[in-house]
A and B are shown apart, each in its own frame.
Chain A
Amino acid sequence: MSAILEVQGLTKRFGGLTACADISLAVAPGELVAIIGPNGAGKTTLFSCIAAEQHATSGRVLFDGTPLRRRSQAAVARMGIGRTYQIMRPFLSLTTAENVMVGPLERGRSLREARAVADAVLEDVRLTPSADLPATALSTGQRKRLELARVLAREPRLLLLDEITGGVDRKNLPDVLHAVRRARRPDRGIVMIEHNMRAVRALADRVVAIVDGRVVVEGPPEVVLEDTAVVRAYLGSSYRPRESGEGDAGA
């Protein structure tokens, strides 16, 4: 099957600073791809270019084979690209369910239909018990799942998750992982920027590592997370781990 998302030679410069340098990647329907990389690697800029919040300096983004060119953010969202943000901004005066209903209502659904969509999505993200509570009553982990639910209610074919596990404590992590798993569909591609490697190993089919704006390696999680260039990017060149077992005898 052809890719749902294709990024071809994408470069984004801000003045003299190159945030993304000649990035190419593809995501197939049904696939979940994680993007990892140290702070400032250019991951969020890449997301912004895919979601048309910014436009690439050069290179192309194709969604379902169609080049996005300089389409607006709203147009791209209507085509079926949805993203979550690191900083969550739910409507605080609305309930959890009402927050989720905004998307379907905007797309012309009736109140009853929008509520049905919200109920289904909230069940997937395990927020049913909080459906009629104000959004202000939710914890960080719950708000992350609300953020996901709001995007899912728009039934995106490409889902972009920006640090969906950020700020989520150990106790709440399984619920967030569950919510992402439930978001998978055979016809939907998911791309997640992720710092929590436990989440990466648990969820991703494939990992793309970006360092200083460039893709340095991609492949299955167990390969990428042990790759020398990736280890060096995170831990520096002076990090020289003993072979496992070595030196442990006397410890």
Chain B
Amino acid sequence: MLELDDVVVEIAGARILDRISLTLAEGTTGVIIGPNGAGKSTLVNSITGLVPLTGGAVRFEGRDLTRLPTQQRIAHGIAHVLERRRLFGSMTVEENLRLGAWANRRSRDVARRLETVYELVPLARQRRLQKAGSMSGGQQQMIAIARGLMAEPRLLILDEPLLGLSPSATDDLVAIIRTLQRRGVSILFIEQNVDLAFGIADVGFVIETGRLALSGPTATLREDPELQRVYLG
């Protein structure tokens, strides 16, 4: 459903992504791992158009997204939850969620979507009138994902969703990801903790200084001596 074809991103003369090609099949969960500064966030940002491509193409469900602005890519069924949440802190949880439906503007739908999301993320319902900024980091992360789900994406992109979460918040979030997996949502996420990443994802993409060094089923990567070389030289 998602295809990257020879993607190149250059920023200020530095080649951050160097001819990356990868495919994520419908209904699967992929994880992007790799050492610091490898280009993981730039890679997901290139999918939703938050950084412009220098070369190559991004296709989603057969459609070429390369030249579309971010909001149009989102409208095609991709949601992207950025690193470190970025909720509107002075707005309530529910107001934040309503904004998540913005890209698909059939407003009569919003109530139904809210109900679906509240069912998936019970915390969002419990706290729906609370100011988002007054919640803990883990709770905010949950709400940020709930907001992403308001767009009813077929592909959900998460940039380090588990970063800085307590063990119990991590468990809660992983449980939500598993529910989404069962419901057929395709997911692409970035994670630094290899154990955790491989426990959740079906396939892994290992990025090393801008290149795709390795990819494949996580069960295979778990045994691949090359993975150690990528991290430890």
A, B: real partners: yes
A164 CB to nearest chain B CB (Å): 12
- Assess whether A239 is in contact with B227, with CB atoms less than 8 Å apart: yes
Contacting A196 at CB < 8 Å: which of B13, B15, B35? Answer: B35
Residue on B nearest A170 in the bound complex, by CB: B209
Given contacts A39-B192, A239-B222, A241-B224, contact A170 B18 (CB under 8 A): yes
Determine if A238 is an interface residue (Cβ-Cβ < 8 Å): yes
Determine if A9 is an interface residue (Cβ-Cβ < 8 Å): no
Counted as pairs of residues, one from A and one from B, with CB atoms less than 8 Å apart, the total is: 88
Residue-wise interface mask of A (230-250) relative to B, using a CB-CB cutoff of 8 A (1 in contact, 0 not): 110011111111111001000
Determine if B50 is an interface residue (Cβ-Cβ < 8 Å): no
Residue-wise interface mask of B (8-24) relative to A, using a CB-CB cutoff of 8 A (1 in contact, 0 not): 00011111101000000
- Assess whether B232 is in contact with A231, with CB atoms less than 8 Å apart: yes
Contacting A242 at CB < 8 Å: which of B36, B194, B223? Answer: B223
- Assess whether B194 is in contact with A235, with CB atoms less than 8 Å apart: yes
Classify the secondary structure of A's interface with B: loop
Interfacial residues of chain A within 192-251, with CB under 8 A of chain B in the complex: 195-198, 200-201, 221, 225-226, 230-231, 234-244, 247
Determine if B69 is an interface residue (Cβ-Cβ < 8 Å): no
- Assess whether B233 is in contact with A198, with CB atoms less than 8 Å apart: yes
Given contacts A166-B36, A195-B35, contact A234 B224 (CB under 8 A): no
Determine if B109 is an interface residue (Cβ-Cβ < 8 Å): no
Determine if A130 is an interface residue (Cβ-Cβ < 8 Å): no
Number of interface residues of B (CB under 8 A): 28
Residue on B nearest A172 in the bound complex, by CB: B14
Residue on B nearest A202 in the bound complex, by CB: B233
Interfacial residues of chain B within 198-233, with CB under 8 A of chain A in the complex: 198-199, 209-210, 222-225, 227-228, 231-233
Contacting B222 at CB < 8 Å: which of A140, A231, A238? Answer: A238
Q: In whole angstroms, what is the CA distance A141 to B194 when docked? A: 28
Determine if A50 is an interface residue (Cβ-Cβ < 8 Å): no
Query: Which of B11, B195, B225 counts the most A-chain CB atoms under 10 A from its CB?
Result: B225
Query: Which of B18, B192, B232 counts the most A-chain CB atoms under 10 A from its CB?
Result: B232
Residue on A nearest B13 in the bound complex, by CB: A139
Q: Which residues of A contact B (CB under 8 A)?
A: 38-39, 139-141, 163, 166-173, 195-198, 200-201, 221, 225-226, 230-231, 234-244, 247
Q: Which residues of B contact A (CB under 8 A)?
A: 11-16, 18, 35-37, 192-196, 198-199, 209-210, 222-225, 227-228, 231-233
